[in-house]
């Protein structure tokens, strides 16, 4: 298995290397030394200088190796006349080892340099018993402990900035998810409104136009055309109202004139005009507390869609609409004859049942629909729609 190639030095590290090396060579050429009376001569000071400059190229890519090798180069420099640039480059290696090294190294290096500073100060004081030993300890701290401590501060700030940046990105992502969910919910709400407001009229138009085309009777045709015109006008009015809601920039998310259960009488009369035999059984008391607006709107739409489905799919017979006010909920029931219809029918997509279930779920209520045996006619079936909508605002929005 081939060994991985070493990383290329960073551009900043190359600049530090070149600038430090040129500065050290200038100090050496001018004869500026840091020490006197050392075993090795003036020329030997170039060797630690070049080694330290080369290690600057690895201060990011291999900070631990650079620090260890730099420590040996600094020790070797003590046997020469010394160079200030060599010492300055070593402090940069200590700083880089803390900032770019592993988290464990960032914790250990400041402690280690602090112990070295204390050990050098105490050891020299015990050996020479001279106050100057404290100055040597201060220089040791300046060369090792100070850059290590600075590196810790810089690394902590950098980690804090990365954490804040990550939190900001997560917040932006959550905001985008919330925005997408809000758009999806609004599209679903407007789809329900469009379906409930227009589907009833379009279904009546489709059924009566089919009847007018299939029956060669001027009276029947005229009656069908009258119903078609009425539903067309009402459907256009509903469509204009919905378009007005979509174009409204006031921020109001609910229709300005949303229908309520007070309009059930008109809704039932319209269904009778379209050919349904509808009976409304509203057992609510006149002194009952007013229903919350969302409950009234949802109940109206559920009854409206149930009548639309009965118009499109029910066999001839009576359609019964029942409203019952319970202490904590409004119960809605709609039954219609179920079976194969021989007359003209309008196609359905199933969106009506989905919309009614969504309206009940949004209020924390329940919804059920399906065929069941006729209570009075053996062998016959009815299609029953049942919805229970909580009337207490505390119960709405949390399904039971």
Tokens linked to 295? 């409950």
Tokens linked to 283? 């057992």
Q: Confirm if 335 and 384 have CB atoms less than 8 A apart.
A: yes
Instruction: Tell me what pLDDT residue 41 has.
Output: 74
DSSP string, 80-129: SS--HHHHHHHHHHHHHHHHHS-HHHHHHHHHHHHHHHHHHHHHHHHHH-
137-to-133, 140, 398 alpha-carbon distances in Å:
6, 5, 70
Q: Is 340 helix (H, G, I), strand (E, B) or coil?
A: coil
Instruction: Tell me what pLDDT residue 140 has.
Output: 79
Q: Is 241 helix (H, G, I), strand (E, B) or coil?
A: helix
Exposed (0-12), middle (13-18) or buried (19+): which is 217, by Cβ within 10 Å?
exposed
The domain segmentation of the chain, as residue ranges, is: 261-338+352-390
Give pLDDT < 50 ranges for the chain: 1-5, 253, 255-256, 344, 398-400
pTM exceeding the 0.85 threshold for the entire prediction:
no
For residue 95, how far is the Cα from the chain centroid?
39
What is the C-alpha separation between 90 and 140, in angstroms, rounded?
Answer: 12
Strand order in the sheet with 329-338: 277-282, 318-325, 329-338, 381-390, 366-373
Fold of 261-338+352-390: Heat Shock Protein 90 (3.30.565)
Instruction: Tell me what pLDDT residue 388 has.
Output: 92
Instruction: Tell me what pLDDT residue 27 has.
Output: 85
């Amino acid at each position: 298995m081939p060994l991985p190639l070493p990383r290329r030095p960073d551009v900043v590290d190359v600049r530090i290397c070149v600038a430090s090396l040129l500065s050290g060579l200038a100090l050496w050429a001018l004869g500026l030394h840091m020490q006197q009376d050392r075993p090795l001569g003036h020329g030997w000071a170039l060797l630690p200088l070049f080694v330290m400059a080369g290690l600057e190229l690895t201060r990011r890519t291999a900070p631990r190796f650079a620090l260890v090798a730099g420590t040996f180069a600094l020790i070797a420099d003590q046997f020469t006349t010394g160079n200030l640039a060599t010492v300055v480059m070593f402090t940069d290696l200590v700083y880089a080892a803390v900032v770019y090294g592993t988290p464990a190294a960032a914790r250990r290096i400041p402690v280690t340099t602090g112990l070295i500073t204390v050990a050098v100060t105490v050891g020299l004081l015990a050996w020479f018993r001279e106050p100057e030993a404290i100055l040597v300890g201060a220089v040791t701290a300046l060369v090792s402990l100070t850059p290590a401590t600075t590196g810790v501060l810089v690394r902590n700030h950098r980690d804090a900035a990365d954490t804040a940046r990550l939190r900001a990105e997560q917040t932006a992502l959550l905001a985008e998810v919330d925005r997408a969910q809000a758009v999806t919910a609004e599209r679903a709400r407007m789809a329900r409104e469009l379906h409930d407001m227009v589907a009833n009229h379009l279904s009546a138009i489709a059924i009566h136009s089919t009847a007018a085309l299939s029956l060669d009777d001027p009276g029947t045709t005229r009656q069908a055309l009258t119903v078609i015109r009425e539903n067309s006008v009402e459907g256009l009015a509903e469509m204009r109202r919905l378009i007005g809601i979509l174009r409204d920039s006031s921020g109001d998310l609910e229709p300005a004139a949303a229908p309520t259960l007070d309009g059930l009488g008109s809704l039932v009369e319209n269904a009778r005009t379209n050919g349904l035999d509808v009976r409304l059984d509203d057992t609510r008391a006149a002194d009952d507390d007013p229903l919350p607006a969302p409950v009234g709107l949802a109940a109206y739409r559920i009854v409206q869609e149930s009548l639309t489905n009965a118009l499109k799919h029910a066999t001839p017979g009576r359609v019964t609409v029942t409203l019952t006010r319970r202490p904590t909920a409004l119960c809605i029931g709609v039954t219609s004859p179920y079976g194969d219809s021989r007359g003209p029918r309008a196609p359905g997509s199933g969106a009506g049942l989905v919309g009614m279930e969504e309206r009940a779920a949004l209020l924390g209520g329940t919804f059920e629909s399906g065929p069941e045996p006729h209570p009075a006619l053996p062998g016959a079936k009815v299609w029953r729609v049942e919805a229970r909508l909580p009337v207490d605002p505390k119960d709405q929005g949390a399904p039971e």
